Amino acid sequence: MRARLGEPSATVGSSVINLANTILGAGMLAMPAAIAAVGLAFGSFLILFSASCSGFGLYLLSRCAARTHGRDASFFSVAQMTYPRAAVLIDLAIAIKCFGVGISYLIIIGDLAPEVVSALGGDTTGALGDRRVWITLFMLIIAPLSFLKRLDSLRYTSVAALGAVVYLFCIVVYYFFFPSAPDHGSTPSPHTPMPITWFRFSTSFFTNLPIFVFAFTCHQNIFTVYNELVDNSQTYVSRVIYRAIGAALAIYQCIGILGYLSFGDHVLPNIILMYNKGPVVTAGRVAIIVLQLFSYPLQCHPCRASVTIVNEDANSLDSGNTNVPGPAPTMPTDARFLLITCGILAASYIMAISVSELDFVLSLVGSTGSTTISFILPGIFYWRLTAPSDDHAQPRTWKAKLLRTLSGALACYGVCVMTICLTFLIRRAIFGTQ
The pLDDT, as a whole number, for residue 188 is 45
Q: Which amino acid is at 216?
A: F
**pLDDT level of residue 59 (50, 70, 90 thresholds):** very high
**pLDDT level of residue 329 (50, 70, 90 thresholds):** very low
Decide if 151 contacts 267 (C-beta within 8 A): no
Mean pLDDT, range 407-429, rounded to an integer:
87
The pLDDT, as a whole number, for residue 1 is 32
Write the CA distances from 398 to 389, 393, 395, 419, integer angstroms: 18, 15, 9, 32
Question: Do the domain assignments include residue 2?
Answer: no
Q: pLDDT tens-digit profile of 222-253?
A: 888 888 888 888 899 999 999 999 999 999 99
Residues 6+ apart with CB under 8 A from 357: 107
The DSSP result for 364-385, as a single string, is HHIIIIIHIIIIIHHHHHHHHH
Decide if 233 contacts 218 (C-beta within 8 A): no
Mean pLDDT, range 141-159, rounded to an integer:
71
Question: Do the domain assignments include residue 344?
Answer: yes
The secondary structure of residue 13, as a DSSP letter, is H
Question: Do the domain assignments include residue 323?
Answer: no
Residues 6+ apart with CB under 8 A from 324: 80, 84, 85, 87
Mean pLDDT of the chain: 80
d(CA 285, CA 164): 9
d(CA 260, CA 298): 29
d(CA 16, CA 131): 33
Phi and psi, residue 11, nearest 5°: -100, 170
Choose among 248, 245, 222: nearest CA to 234. 222
**pLDDT level of residue 193 (50, 70, 90 thresholds):** low
Residues 6+ apart with CB under 8 A from 122: 128
Q: Give percent above pLDDT 90 in the chain.
A: 18
Decide if 102 contacts 303 (C-beta within 8 A): yes
Question: Do the domain assignments include residue 412?
Answer: yes
Q: How many whole angstroms from its chain centre is CA 102? A: 9
Of 169-178, 224-233, 282-291, 314-323, the one with minimum mean pLDDT is 314-323
Range of the domain at 391: 12-317+330-431
CATH number of the CATH domain containing 56: 1.20.1740.10
Indicate whether 327 pLDDT > 90.
no
Radius of gyration (C-alpha) of the chain in whole angstroms? 22
Mean pLDDT, range 53-58, rounded to an integer:
94
Query: Total structural domains in the chain?
Result: 1
Question: Do the domain assignments include residue 47?
Answer: yes
What's the first-to-final CA gap in the chain, in angstroms? 52
d(CA 375, CA 58): 9
Question: Do the domain assignments include residue 104?
Answer: yes
Largest CA-CA distance found in the chain, in angstroms, rounded: 76
Q: Give percent above pLDDT 70 in the chain.
A: 84
d(CA 244, CA 21): 9
Decide if 237 contacts 226 (C-beta within 8 A): yes
Q: How many whole angstroms from its chain centre is CA 135? A: 20
Question: Do the domain assignments include residue 192?
Answer: yes
The pLDDT, as a whole number, for residue 389 is 66
d(CA 382, CA 60): 6
Residues 6+ apart with CB under 8 A from 351: 103
d(CA 214, CA 203): 19
Mean pLDDT, range 387-397, rounded to an integer:
61
